[in-house]
Amino acid sequence: MLKKTERTKGMSCGSCTFNRLNPPKCDLTNNTPTINITIPFEEGLKLNLAIMDRLLEINKLDRRTTEGQRAAINLSVNLDAQVLSVVPGKLSKSSNT
C-alpha cells in the first residue's frame, strides 16, 4: 500500500459527487461563461478534505524551488459521472505565482 508521500503522479487526493449542474449539461456551449455546481453537505466535506490533503502536500514542498513554486491543485470535473476530483497539478512555466 502506498504511503501518502509515495502517491503516484496524477493520483487523486480525493473526490466527491455533485447533484446538480446549472446550466444542465445538455445546454452547455463554448459560450457558457459560468457553470454552477451544487454539492450536498456530506460531499462538500469530502471535497474540503481532498483540497486540504493537497494543500498539505504542497506545504511540505520547499517554496524556494521551482517544483515548490509550480505545485498546484487541479480540480477535475467529470460531467458524465457527476464527480469532482482533486488531483495534483503544476502551474505552467510561464505563469506567475
Residue 14 Cα distances to 18, 25, 52, 69, 83, angstroms: 14, 23, 10, 22, 10
Give pTM, 2 decimals: 0.80
> What does the pLDDT profile of the chain (97 residues) look like in tens digits?
344 444 555 588 999 999 999 999 999 999 999 999 999 999 999 999 999 999 999 999 999 999 999 999 999 999 999 999 999 999 998 765 5
